[in-house]
Amino acid sequence: MTQIYDRVALIGLGLIASSMSHAMRRAGLAGEIVGYAKSSETRQTAREIGLCDVVYDTAAEAVEGADLVVLCVPVGAMDAVAAEIGPVLMAGATVSDVGSVKRAVVEAVAPHIPEGVHFIPAHPLAGTEHSGPRSGFAELFENRYCIIVPPEGADRTAVDRLAALWRGMGALIEEMDAEHHDLVLAVTSHTPHLIAYTMVGVADDLSRVTDSEVIKFSAAGFRDFTRIAASDPVMWRDVFLNNKEATLEILGRFTEELFALQRAIRQGDGDHLHAYFTRTRSIRRGIIEAGQDTDAPNFGRASVKKQ
Amino acid sequence: MTQIYDRVALIGLGLIASSMSHAMRRAGLAGEIVGYAKSSETRQTAREIGLCDVVYDTAAEAVEGADLVVLCVPVGAMDAVAAEIGPVLMAGATVSDVGSVKRAVVEAVAPHIPEGVHFIPAHPLAGTEHSGPRSGFAELFENRYCIIVPPEGADRTAVDRLAALWRGMGALIEEMDAEHHDLVLAVTSHTPHLIAYTMVGVADDLSRVTDSEVIKFSAAGFRDFTRIAASDPVMWRDVFLNNKEATLEILGRFTEELFALQRAIRQGDGDHLHAYFTRTRSIRRGIIEAGQDTDAPNFGRASVKKQ
């Protein structure tokens, strides 16, 4: 594949950045990949495993001469890191990010971007429950969507170039505005994560059922929730603090529906329950047909083999 | 392995019964396996794929001469099927079931069991999102728990014999009373399923986000919920109608916790969120260490390979 950027600077070296590095290298998309992480331990690990060509001790050094800078830090850290790198960004460079919310990131980062630098926010909808520089792998973005959120008046060539990079890493591209992105993600990601965290918390708290029982009997459904409830706590704290409005709206709808089902249970309204449970099957089918999940039983978990 | 029962009658031929048939055959646990299903289509399919040695057109015929009868029908159908087979059960036989709730099953079935027949309810905590006689596979119960709920005064030899059958199919055995079972399952299974159904319903309803968007962007977390929300609607309707009390109790705790997190989001209380999200990681670790889930990213879904 053709090289798309000469020097890519990854700011933050967690799951997404490390996967980007593997994916860019595999496809030869970047001349050079450099990086920076706030924690010296993370920088040390990244150096040990050769994650980047160079790992710098400051973000400012890392972005020097980079024609693409990707902010891969928790949403709450975007403001400070943008303030630090703003003055040293190369003219003509593109600054992007991988944050899970977009309106707050635009508000935090845009003011620090100098004239002549393109700011093109993006969000790859991919991840696992693992975190840190060792958790990345080149296939993470394959057949997953990357949502690009170009600001009004964004340079088309710069947007297309960023899209080409993500396509080169295996992603499918969609464009939308920041507000719609935040609503879509509140439904498909943020509220599900909050609910999963809550359910796991409830199970952990219930004194009449021991943790050991919860663990042993988790295959009855509960374990599906624990995967996303094991995701990076800092990242998720920042998501909820920065997508407050949309998350609270979806949560409101969620509790409304849950109360309706709760009432149906209390009143013994089997028809209501049956109709509801039937309707939700078609969404699963759609997801499988769209290649966004596997049809193998139990997600094809290692221990479950179909004859 | 040694044969444990001479003639096992499976009443109902869905995912659990068909998996039992495969698992019993693989290990040589039953001399003969016969079956019955209410739907003629299911009986036809079972005959086509040779699921049992004989598939009968009535439950009464199927249980004749069986030393083990396993009721594998939705919880709401237990009463009628027990009434039908009660008069023809063989003296000394064991009747068991695989229902997801236990108190209601005991109440429905026990009155129909004649003197001299052992009634030993059980619940294998295993399943997939697929249903029907073709969905079974021999490995379903491997390393999964089967909870046996012996009534007071149950014959120890009969209980141990049933436990040996489940062990022979690969399951781990626990014993507890029906009430505790129903509470444990409300936490580890019933409430998670209801929440998953609700979340999928909310996503389906939200007019500003299209179904196509929900499907395309589901890898951001939502798709984990759709698996259990694709489970058999009749089975789940019956679970909620028959484990009302415990489910409503856990739902009450769930909404209480959810409201606390919702308030933390509204008030921007990042410390509360971070502390909550950190705590829930240890349960995941426990589940993986107990061999109840895989540590591979994203459940080791087919499309996700680690380098």
Mean pLDDT of chain B: 95
> What pLDDT, on the 0 to 100 scale, is given for residue B281?
86
> What pLDDT, on the 0 to 100 scale, is given for residue B306?
38
Which residues of B fall within a CB distance of 8 Å from A276?
Answer: 197, 201
Looking at chain A, which residue has its C-alpha nearest residue B238?
A270
What is the per-residue DSSP string for A60-99?
HHHHTT-SEEEE-S-GGGHHHHHHHHGGGPPTT-EEEE--
Query: Do the chains contact at A187 and B198, CB–CB below 8 Å?
Result: no
Q: Which fold has domain A180-297?
A: 6-phosphogluconate dehydrogenase C-terminal fold (1.10.3660)
Helix or strand run (H / E) with residue B163: helix B156-168
- Strand, coil or helix: what is A36? strand
Taking the C-alpha atoms of residue A220 and residue A198, their distance in angstroms, rounded to an integer, is 18
| Rounded average pLDDT over A213-241 | 93
Separation in Å, CA of B253 to nearest CA in chain A: 7
Secondary structure tally for chain A: helices H, strands E: 14, 9
Cα separation values, B133 from B15, B43, B75, B110, B213, Å: 6, 9, 18, 27, 33
Residue type, A229: A
Nearest Cα to Cα of residue B297 among A230, A73, A6: A230
Q: Decide if pLDDT at B113 tops 90.
A: yes
Which residues of B fall within a CB distance of 8 Å from A197?
Answer: 261, 276-277, 280
Which residues of B fall within a CB distance of 8 Å from A27?
Answer: none
Looking at chain B, which residue has its C-alpha nearest residue A273?
B237
* Integer Rg of chain B from CA: 21
Q: Which residues contact A276 (CB under 8 A, 6 or more apart)?
A: A261, A264, B197, B201
Confidence band for B303, pLDDT divided at 50, 70 and 90: low
Nearest Cα to Cα of residue A292 among A176, A141, A164: A141
Q: Which residues contact B157 (CB under 8 A, 6 or more apart)?
A: none
Which residues of A fall within a CB distance of 8 Å from B220?
Answer: 100, 125-127, 185, 188-189
| Rounded average pLDDT over A24-30 | 98
Query: Do the chains contact at A137 and B306, CB–CB below 8 Å?
Result: yes
Q: Which residues contact A36 (CB under 8 A, 6 or more apart)?
A: A9, A10, A11, A12, A13, A43, A55, A56, A57, A58, A59, A61, A62
| Rounded average pLDDT over A104-127 | 97
Query: Do the chains contact at B209 and A284, CB–CB below 8 Å?
Result: no
Contact B231, A264 (CB under 8 A): no
DSSP A204: H
Q: Decide if pLDDT at B304 tops 70.
A: no
Separation in Å, CA of B281 to nearest CA in chain A: 5
Taking the C-alpha atoms of residue A38 and residue A59, their distance in angstroms, rounded to an integer, is 8
Separation in Å, CA of A158 to nearest CA in chain B: 24
| Rounded average pLDDT over B58-83 | 98
What is the per-residue DSSP string for A130-171?
--STTS--GGGGTT-EEEE-PPTT--HHHHHHHHHHHHHTT-
Q: Which residues does residue B83 pair with via DSSP β-bridges, in sequence order?
A: none
- Strand, coil or helix: what is A30? strand
Nearest Cα to Cα of residue B16 among B109, B119, B99, B94: B99
Nearest to B206 among A187, A199, A268 (CB): A187
> What pLDDT, on the 0 to 100 scale, is given for residue A281?
86
Query: Do the chains contact at B139 and A276, CB–CB below 8 Å?
Result: no
Around A182, how many Cα atoms within 13 Å sit in the side-chain half-sphere?
22
Strand pairing of A145-148 and A172-175? Answer: parallel
Taking the C-alpha atoms of residue B94 and residue A32, their distance in angstroms, rounded to an integer, is 70
Share of chain B above pLDDT 90, in %: 92
Angle at A208 between CA A202 and CA A213, to 5 degrees: 75
Contact B23, B167 (CB under 8 A): no
Q: In what order do the strands lie in the sheet with B5-11?
A: B54-56, B30-36, B5-11, B68-71, B94-97, B118-119
| Rounded average pLDDT over B104-122 | 98
Highest mean predicted confidence (pLDDT) among A220-234, B26-40, B278-292:
B26-40
> What pLDDT, on the 0 to 100 scale, is given for residue A1?
62
Report phi then psi at A69, rounded to 5.
Answer: -120, 125
Contact B226, A284 (CB under 8 A): yes
Tens digit of pLDDT for each residue in A251-278? 999 999 999 999 999 999 999 999 999 9
Q: Which fold has domain B180-268?
A: 6-phosphogluconate dehydrogenase C-terminal fold (1.10.3660)
Taking the C-alpha atoms of residue B278 and residue A97, their distance in angstroms, rounded to an integer, is 25
- Strand, coil or helix: what is A54? strand
Query: Do the chains contact at A221 and B240, CB–CB below 8 Å?
Result: no
Right CATH number for A5-176 from 3.40.50.300, 3.40.50.2300, 3.40.50.720, 3.40.50.150?
A: 3.40.50.720
Q: Decide if pLDDT at B302 tops 80.
A: no
Q: Which residues contact B299 (CB under 8 A, 6 or more apart)?
A: A227, A298, A299, A300, A301, B293
Report phi then psi at B304, rounded to 5.
Answer: -110, 110
Domain ranges for chain B: 5-176, 180-268
Q: Decide if pLDDT at B1 tops 70.
A: no
What is the per-residue DSSP string for B55-84?
EESSHHHHHTT-SEEEE-S-GGGHHHHHHH
Residue B183's CB is within 10 A of a number of other CB atoms, namely 22
Can you give the three-state secondary structure of B7-27, one letter per residue?
EEEEECCCHHHHHHHHHHHHH
Looking at chain B, which residue has its C-alpha nearest residue A125?
B220
> What pLDDT, on the 0 to 100 scale, is given for residue B282?
86
Look-up of token digits 């990854």: A10
| Rounded average pLDDT over A122-145 | 96
Report phi then psi at B172, rounded to 5.
Answer: -95, 145
- Cα dihedral angle (A20, A24, A29, A32), rounded to 10 degrees? 90
